[in-house]
Structures are given as C-alpha cells and as structure tokens.
Structure 1
Amino acid sequence: MTAPAPAGTGDLDWVLVLAPYRRDGAYLQALLVEHGMRVEQCAGAEQLGQCLVQSPGVIVATHEGLNPAVIEAIAMHLVAQPNWSELPIVILLDRAVSHARIRAQLSKAWPGARQTYYQRPVAALELVSGIQSALALRRRQREVRDYIDNEIEFRLELNHRVKNLLATVTSIFQMTRRAASSAEHLASDFEGRLTALANVHAAVFEAGGGAVPLADVVDLTLLPYRGDDATRIAVDGPDVTITREAGTTLALCLHELTTNAIKYGALSRPEGRLELRWTISTDPGPVLAIEWLESGGPPVSPPSRVGYGSRYIRSALTTLFGTPPVMDYAPSGLHCMMAGPLARLAAPPAPIRGGGPV
C-alpha cells in the first residue's frame, strides 16, 4: 500500500523511505502505513531529488542505500533548507558494519540533520515510536516556519500601511494648507481631518483586520456631532463590511460633508437635520448606494468656488465607486448621492481553512 505525499505540499508530515535492497522498503512502508503515517519510497539518487523537493518530514534509510550519490543529494538538500528546519534522518544499520565509521561519515556529510541510528534487527514498536517522535518534531518546526512567515507578512503589511498612512496625511496637510486663510484655520481643519482618519483606523483595529463594518465608520465619524438630540442625525442601512481603504476614504468624505453642514448647512442651526442611509440593490448586480440628505438648515445654493472639501469628495468618491457622486445643492438642503458596485468596496469573505492530517 502506497500513500505518496502530494508534490509541492511541503507539509513535513510524511516519511521518505530509502531502502532499495531486498524487501526492506516494502516492509518499512507497510509498517509505517499501518500506524497511520504517509510514506513514499525512493529507489535511488535519480528519483531522490524530486522526492526531496516535496519536503519530507523524516527520511528513513538503510545504510546499504546510502551510496555516495544519495549522500551528496541529501547533503545538497540540507544545505538549502531554511534556518528553522532540521531534517530528521533515521538510519538502520546492520550489526556487522562499523557503526562508528558510518556515524562519522554521515555526521560530516550532513551537519544540518538530526540523525538517529538503530541497529537491526530492531523492534517494530521502537522504530515506529522513534519515527513518530521525529514527525512530531517536524510539526513543531512547521509551526515555527508558519510563525516566521506570518511575522514577515505582518511586517511587510505594517510597512505598507504606514507608508500609505503617511502619504494620506501628507496629502491632507498640503490640500488643507492651500485652502487655509490663517494658521488657526489650518490647525483646526487639519486636526479635524486627522481625527476622522484616526477614528477609522481605530475601527479597523477593533474589527481585527483589514475590513470594517460600514456602520462603524459612519458612527465613529458622526459621533462627535450628534450631541444630546438623538434625532438630529439619523443613520440607517444594512450590515455590510468594507475594506480598510474604502473605510478611510468614506470617513474623510463624511468628515468633509459634516464640516460643511456645520459651517453652512443643516447642522449650523438647532432645528437642522441630517439623514445618512445606505442600501444594497441586486439588480443588475449588488450595488451600494449611500445617500446624504440635509434639511432644516439655511437656504442652500451652489458654491461660487470649489474648495478643497468639494474637490476631495468628488475625486475620492469617483475613484471609490467608479462613478462621480451627485451633488444637489437644493434650497432645502444639500443632497449627495454616491453609488457603485458593492465589489469595489466590500471586503472579501474570510478564507475557509481546511484541516489536514497532522
């Protein structure tokens, strides 16, 4: 019975048997498979390179099969293995051979391997226990490998996020500076925009990843302006999770709309009201539509000049949704409509991790 390891999996949880003479290979394979281990036999040096590429967890070899070509092939594999790896090799020795000579030869040839020697005949239970222990060691090494890979990925992602964040802050500062009429004006507007940015990053952090609920982005952005009147700002919409980048963009746009409403729109008067709602339609495909509607404020008219906030909102939302927002400066209050394919904003579902044998 043969249970070959899938090529290229690198699971480190299978046994490579090098026993080309007599029936040693067949016996070892049957014994190990009987105890639940995956096994692949290798006939010689020609096939060995391909087998080693599959990353065996343990090599079990009879000393007769360790000719110079095989020893060299294993040595090259050991040299190329990463720092976390220490390949266990189990060698079965005949009673008649010089154990000391073989140990010295292999220790010199394979300094990067954990070598275990058994003298034949060896009790089946003893051999199985030793190989199982070696596989357990490899599983621990695999955990170290995965931890290192995750750390590298985390650091790369952190570096990427920091660069993007600094670029965003720099852009916000430059555009705020150009529109500022005084140092106080610059400080106030820049602080508000940074607060909106920080709120979204806090929401993403609390969500535990690169995605955040749209409702959280809205709540954190509008919370400072709601005051004691719960009806002053009405928010409504279905549950939807968006990417970190989409959340950051929306938060900054909502901040600009809120700032404008406080200065010139509905939130500049006690009786003013703001409605923010979003819907998801399914025809012809999932489309996210977000509506900003002000009422009860002073009469509204189109601005005489386009400031930083309007330019940013139009540019950012066009990039985010794929279509420009509709800005209706109706006398009763500003009405902003933004819509686009949900796939442009929505976070992909978390991958389902299948459990394999360990």
Structure 2
Amino acid sequence: MPADIDGIPTAAELPVVIHAPYGGDSATLRQVLTDAGFAAVAAGDLSEFQALLRADAGLLVVSQEGLTEKSLSLIAEMLAQQDDWSELPIIVLLDQALHLNKAAGRLLELMPRSKLIIKQRPVHPAELTTSVDTALRARRRQYALARYIAHQEELRHELNHRVKNILASVNALFSLTRRNSADLAEFSQEFAGRLNALSNVHSVLFNVDYGSVRLTELVEAILRPFNTEDVRVVATGPDQRLLSDPAQKIALSLYELATNAAKYGALSSSEGAVGVKWSVESGTGGDSFVLDWSESGGPSVKPPSRTGYGTRFIRSAAHSLDGEANLEFTPAGLQVQVRVPARSVLDR
C-alpha cells in the first residue's frame, strides 16, 4: 500500500477486525494477515468483538460461526453510524455446503451500507490476503473521496466568503469615494484607481490560492506603478507571510498612502521619496507587527482641514486587526505607523 497522503490512512492504520469464534480460527487468520503486513486484531469472544467494532475499521473478517444474531445486530448498528461516504468492507467466510446466493442475499439485508465479499472455505492464505489488500485499497479510496468532498465543501464556503468580502470592499470603496469626490470626473478617476488596486491585491492572493502571501510580493504589486525610472519608493523588511484577509487591508492601506503621496506628498515632487519598512517587535503583550511609512523631500505638509477617505480607511483597517494607526503630518512629510498584533496578520 502507498504511504499516507494528505491525511488518508495507510493500510497499517486501518485495522482488520477478525471475528471467527470456532476453535483457533481467529488466531490462525490473525497470524496469516499479520505475516502479510496487515494490522489484524482478533476478537476472542462476542464482547471483545463489540469493543473492536468501530467506524474507522479497515474491514471486518467474519467466519460463518461468527454470524450470530447478536453479532449481526452489532455489525448493523455500527454500519448505521457510518458517515455517508463510508461502505465498510466485510469479508465473510462460509462453508461450501451453504447456498451462497441465499446466504449473500440474507447478509446484504442484514448488513446494508457495507461492501460484502463472500469467500468459500477453505480459503488459501494468498487468496485471503489478496482480498484483504483489495478491500483496504477500496477503503482508502473511500477516505480519499471523503477528503475530496470535504475539501470541495470548504472551497465552496471559502468562495462564498471571498465573494462577499469583495462585494463589501467594492461597496465601501464606492461609498467613501463618492462622499469625498467633488464631481463625477474626480469620482471616476479615484474609484477606478482603487478598484485597480483591489484587483492587484486579489491577483497576488489568487496566485497563492488565497492562503498566505509574501509581504514583499504584495508591497511590490501595490507600489510598482508609483516607481519611475528612478526608484522613488524603497521597501525594506523581513520576508514575512501575511494571512489573506489582513493582506488585503494592508495592501489597500499602502495604496491609499501611495496615492496621497503622488497627489499631495513626496511623490508629487521630483525630489521626493518614500520609505516603507516593516518589522516584528516583541513586547509584554506579545509580538507586534509594525509597518512604517515615511515621506521626505516633497512639498511642505500640514494637517488637512478634514479627515479624508484614506486616513479613515487606514485607521479602520488597523482597528479591524485589533491594532492602531498613527498618522503625523510633519512639515518634512507624512509619517505613518501601523501597529497590530502579529497573530492578527502573520501566517506562522
């Protein structure tokens, strides 16, 4: 059997439960299967068989003598508790004297939702081990199918969550841009730019399957349009990985800062420059992720007469991550520090 893949049990992790109460049949069957490399466990009596029965068994091997009303009732009860994807393989060993078709029909009635395999005794050890191996392979495929179904369900919920987030982001961008635009032309330009930034963020996140994203890659995607032939924006920091939701908030915050710098700040002047750096700082309350934005060389800056969309968005984004954003409009240029708990943003 192949090794464990993506949480699918190996053959050694799927026990073969044996119930053959006549003479030394249980011990013999267990020895045959153990020698072949299977994890076989034999029930000494009915109470032990009941204790061994569980839904995660690899398969059951039951002899004719073990097919009592009580044991069949226990098996039926366990089968009824299976997950929807599960059909437990059951190998039944019957005497040649029995009418197999009749016996099979009766067993199928008593053991629904099982993969019934009937063998006539005497069974050669090689035939038995081959049947057990085939049954365990089928059992592993059931686990693989269950994992696939669970993954698809997870993706469906993730897609629903992502679509809602995107629509909420677009709605927020629309509302806030409208409130801060003087006319339709300004609104169109600002809204299109912010949608493009949002698109860039999702392109980066899509390439990593909406898991985590490298911060350097995200910063590069957002700030690339603001760098001319001379590098105007310099980003430095450790190669951290961000969780996808915080990554979107941080990326859009950077876009707002870069847009503001291009319109009014350091990037509006040929001599201006921006430094972006990030780090992780230790503290008594735990590690903090710190992002600094520093402008220099641009026109003299003074605090705005009203709080604009960008400022509100940055503060709101930091607050949603259990942190805070501090913006200082110094004459030399805008200085911003965003500080949030590392656990809120970093994929560790």
Please say if residues 205 and 244 of structure 2, whose CA atoms lie closer than 8 Å, have aligned partners that are also in contact: yes
The AA in structure 2 aligned to 1:326 is: N
Distance 1:300 1:23 in 2: 92
Deviation at 1:196, TM superposition (A): 1.6
Superposed CA RMSD = 2.3
2:297 corresponds in structure 1 to: 296
Residue 16 of structure 1 contacts residue 39 of structure 1 at CA under 8 Å; is this kept in 2?
yes
Q: Per-residue displacement from partner, 1:201-240 (whole Å, max 9, x unpaired)?
A: 111221234211111121111111112222x111211111
- Quick one: distance in 1 between partners of 2:263 and 2:27? 84
Match of 1:160 in 2: 161
Cα distance in 1 between the residues matched to 2:46 and 2:152? 36
Deviations 1:34-56 (A, max 9, x none): 11111233456655555333421
Structure 2 residue 248 is the aligned partner of structure 1 residue 252: no
Q: How far apart, CA to CA, are the structure 1 residues paired with 2:98 and 2:273?
A: 93
Supply the AA of the counterpart residue of 1:146.
R
Residue of structure 2 in register with 1:121 after alignment: 122
Distance 1:79 1:278 in 2: 56
SS of 2:123's equivalent in the other structure is coil
Per-residue deviation, residues 238-284 of structure 1 (Å, max 9, x unmatched):
11111111111111111111111112111112221111122333466
Q: Which moved more, 1:83-92 or 1:236-245?
A: 83-92
Equivalent-residue separation in structure 2 for 1:293 and 1:243 (angstroms): 24
- Using the aligned pairs only, state the percent identity: 37
Q: Give the equivalent residue in structure 1 for 2:4.
A: none
Mapped to 2, the partners of 1:254 and 1:219 lie a distance apart of 11
Q: Gaps (5+ residues) in structure 1?
A: 1-8, 349-358
Report the Cα offset of residue 347 of structure 1.
0.9
Corresponding residue of 1:169: 170
Instruction: Give the counterpart letter for 2:33 in structure 1.
Output: L
Q: Decide whether the 8 Å contact of 1:10 with 1:55 is kept in 2.
A: no
Is the Cα contact below 8 Å between 2:55 and 2:81 reproduced in 1?
no
Q: 1: CA distance between counterparts of 2:45 and 2:171?
A: 62
Pick closer, same or farther for the CA change 1:99–1:340 going to 2, 3 Å: closer
Give the secondary structure class of the aligned counterpart of 1:334: strand
Residue aligning to 2:233: 233
Contact 2:281 2:288 in 1 (8 A): yes
In structure 1, C-alpha distance between the alignment counterparts of 2:191 and 2:47, rounded to whole Å: 68
5 Å-filtered alignment, 1:1-358, equals: 13-42=14-43, 46=47, 48=49, 50-230=51-231, 232-282=232-282, 286-320=287-321, 322-348=322-348
Deviation per CA, 1:119-166: give whole Å up to 9, x if none: 222211211111111111111222111111111111111111211222
Q: Distance in 2 between the 1:201 and 1:87 partners?
A: 43
Tell me, yes or no, if the aligned pair for 1:20 and 1:43 is still in contact at 8 Å: yes
Q: State the TM-score, normalized to the length of structure 1.
A: 0.87
The size of the alignment, in residue pairs, is 338
Residues 47-89 of structure 1, C-alpha deviations (whole Å, 9 max, x = no match):
5555333421211000111112222332344344344333221
- 1:299-323 Cα offsets, whole Å, 9 max, x none, are 1101111122111112212333x44
Distance 1:287 1:173 in 2: 32
Structure 1 stretches of 4+ with a deviation exceeding 4 A read 9-12, 43-50, 282-285
**3-state SS, counterpart of residue 347 of structure 1:** coil
Whether contact under 8 Å (1:63, 1:91) holds in the other structure is yes
Please give the TM-score of this superposition, normalised by the length of structure 2.
0.89
The answer to whether the 8 Å contact 1:90/1:116 transfers is: yes
Amino acid at match of 1:210: G
Q: Is the 8 A contact 1:61 1:92 kept in 2?
A: yes
Greater shift after overlay, 31-40 or 96-105?
A: 96-105
SS of 2:324's equivalent in the other structure is coil
In the alignment, residue 72 of structure 2 is paired with which amino acid? I
Q: Matches of 1:114 and 1:280 in 2, distance apart?
A: 55
CA offset at residue 188 of structure 1? 1.7
Relative to structure 1, the CA distance from residue 52 to residue 185 in structure 2 (aligned partners, 3 Å threshold; closer, same or farther) is farther
Amino acid at match of 1:36: G
In 2, are the aligned partners of 1:59 and 1:90 still within 8 Å (CA)? yes
Q: What secondary structure, in the 3-state scheme, does the structure 2 residue paired with 1:304 have?
A: coil
Write the distance in 1 (CA, Å) between the matches of 2:150 and 2:341: 34
Q: Which moved more, 1:106-115 or 1:139-148?
A: 106-115
Give the aligned residue type for 1:206: N
Corresponding residue SS for 1:53: coil
Indicate the SS of the match to 1:256.
Answer: helix
